[in-house]
Amino acid sequence: MNFELTADQALLLQSFESFLERGSVPSGAHGYVAYSSALQDELGESGFLDVAAQEGFGPLEAAILAERAARSAVSFEFAASALLGPLLAPRGAAGAPTALLWSRTAPARFLSHAKTACLFDGADVLVAAVAPSQVEPADSVAAYPMGRLKTVPKDARRIAGAEADALRRRALVAVAAEAAGLMRGALDQTIDYVKERTQFGQPLARFQAIQHRLAEDATLIRAARLLALRAAFTDLEDDAATACFYAQQTMRKVIHDCHQFSGAMGLTLEYPLHLWTYRLKVLQGEAGGRAEQARRAAAAVWPRRDAESWRRRAEAV
């Protein structure tokens, strides 16, 4: 158990951060979605998306970068490509960006720009190469580019059993890590704002009612990140479902607080808060939402067995 980044991890994160700084971030106006296809392309060439397959690294490093990537105001697909990519590559995938689909018909993030679609279809997973012509854009409040499949490609590969379970675990980690980073981005923006905005003769940051809620949010967000990173490391069903549950539960309070403390500025597009909160709102319902995560976690933490194994489970903790 070691929470300090190793020298290699620190170097990786540092070089990823410099990549993000010099990347093609649209300056000034960011619009509603702020997706950067230029940055997405540069990312594909950079090698960062393959981090989990590099020697000495794995899903943990992919999750560390995914969380960091999501703090950015500019949007690009990282988490699914980096975390599921290595498992999908031998399975007919066409490479990054990868879009995660939780239904055949619902709009999905990044699908309009994706090369690979990973569709969670009941207990199975369908993997297919996709082209923009197979996708129709979807109107949405989300601050992600959203698209929906016209039809599920006929040549989609069906993956079942343990391989499908492994993909689902990675997807839950991808959602959890991205959510943790988005929450952090929203919180950082809100903290900057409450330090500047003055009401009743003092900055909002001085009001204890606001301080306490932001301190609670910071605590929840820090824990959400650690739970996501642990799940990436352990690759256990209970950890993955718990991390995703916690992120989806936590974001409800964080989204509300950040908007509440940003006032009407938070409703404008010149103030970027929606770039995090209106992405989080998509993640809140992904993978079945926290109700489904709770089912998954409960089944993993408390598998229904005989009374004796229940007792042992209770004693073992």
Nearer to another protein, 124 or 216 (CB): 216
Task: Give one DSSP letter per residue of 280-306, joined into a string.
Answer: HHHHTTGGGHHHHHHHHHHHHHS----
How far is Cα 242 from Cα 160, in angstroms, rounded to an integer? 23
The DSSP call for residue 104 is S
175 by DSSP, 3-state: which?
A: helix
Q: How many CA atoms lie within 13 A of 203 on its CB side?
A: 10
How far is Cα 247 from Cα 228, in angstroms, rounded to an integer? 8
φ, ψ at 277 (rounded to 5°) = -70, -35
Nearer to another protein, 10 or 160 (CB): 10
In this structure, the strands spanning 146-149 and 108-109 are antiparallel
Nearer to another protein, 24 or 234 (CB): 234
Q: In the structure encoding, which two tokens stand for residue 179, read together?
A: 């959510």
Q: From edge to edge, which strands make up the β-sheet containing 157-159?
A: 98-101, 116-121, 124-129, 157-159
How many CB atoms sit inside 10 A of residue 259's CB?
A: 18
CB of 111 vs another protein, minimal distance in Å: 30
CB of 206 vs another protein, minimal distance in Å: 7
CB of 33 vs another protein, minimal distance in Å: 29
Q: How many CA atoms lie within 13 A of 263 on its CB side?
A: 10
Nearer to another protein, 160 or 215 (CB): 215
CB of 219 vs another protein, minimal distance in Å: 4
Nearer to another protein, 76 or 276 (CB): 276
Nearer to another protein, 178 or 217 (CB): 217
Q: In the structure encoding, which two tokens stand for residue 123, read together?
A: 């207990």
Nearer to another protein, 26 or 288 (CB): 288
Binding site for another protein (CB under 8 A): 1-6, 9, 60, 64, 191, 194-196, 198, 203, 205-206, 208, 210-212, 214-216, 218-220, 222-224, 226-227, 229-230, 233-234, 241-242, 245-246, 249, 291, 293-295, 297-298, 301-302, 304, 307, 310-311, 313-314, 317
Q: What is the dihedral of CA 241, 245, 248, 252, to 10 degrees?
A: 180
Which residue, among 26, 149, 160, has the nearest Cα to 99 in the 3D structure? Answer: 149
Nearer to another protein, 104 or 311 (CB): 311
CB of 290 vs another protein, minimal distance in Å: 8
Nearer to another protein, 158 or 311 (CB): 311
CB of 130 vs another protein, minimal distance in Å: 34
267 by DSSP, 3-state: which?
A: helix
CB of 240 vs another protein, minimal distance in Å: 12
CB of 116 vs another protein, minimal distance in Å: 29
CB of 207 vs another protein, minimal distance in Å: 9
**Residue 111 near residue 99 (C-beta atoms within 8 A):** yes
146 by DSSP, 3-state: which?
A: strand
Instruction: Collect all residues with Cβ–Cβ distance below 8 Å to 32 and sequence separation of at least 6.
Output: 143, 269, 274
